[in-house]
Amino acid sequence: MKTTTLIGICGFAILAILALIFILSDSGNLQALDGKYTQEEAMDVAKEFVLADETFKFDGMADTLKIYLNEAYGPGEYEFIAEFDCAHGGYGDRTGQMVTQAITPHKAYIAVDKNKVTAAMLDGQWDMFLEMDMVDQ
């Protein structure tokens, strides 16, 4: 009787573990078990992307940078908004160019999928990947 009960409990435990694995793999988020692809990590990825961007590096004002979640699309898929000011107008690396002497606010939409930035658009016109104006194209 005890052996039968023990076998039943073990069998149930194995089925429960298999069901959990199936559910998590079905949602495409098996990695969540070890902490990958969290919103916080994705936000850090978005922040590092902005800090490394040519526009921000040129004259971005670090104390104005704010990043917040705009939308969560699914496991590991997020869109963030980054807002910051620059000391001059324009986009990208403006070394050697005439620039306006005006504090310029910027707003970027940054898509992060599985901790990789997949798209980034600044002010609805500057592609932060290609470092080019998409409106004038």
pLDDT per residue as tens, the chain (137 positions) = 565 554 545 444 454 444 444 444 444 444 444 457 999 999 999 999 999 999 999 999 999 999 999 999 999 999 999 999 999 999 999 999 999 999 999 999 999 999 999 999 999 999 999 999 998 76
For residues 21 and 43, membership in a common domain is answered with: no
Identify the helix (H) or strand (E) that includes residue 71. strand 66-74
Query: Measured between alpha carbons, how far is 68 from 80 in angstroms, rounded to an integer?
Result: 6
Angle 98-110-74 from CA coordinates, rounded to 5°? 175
Q: Is residue 105 located within the same domain as residue 84? A: yes
Give me the helices (H) in the chain, please: 2-26, 39-52, 54-59
Q: What range defines the domain where residue 4 resides?
A: 1-34
44 & 22 share domain: no
Q: What is the pLDDT of residue 136?
A: 78
Return the closest-CA partner of residue 70 out of 108, 126, 28: 108
Q: Are residues 82 and 71 in the same domain?
A: yes
Domains: count for the chain: 2
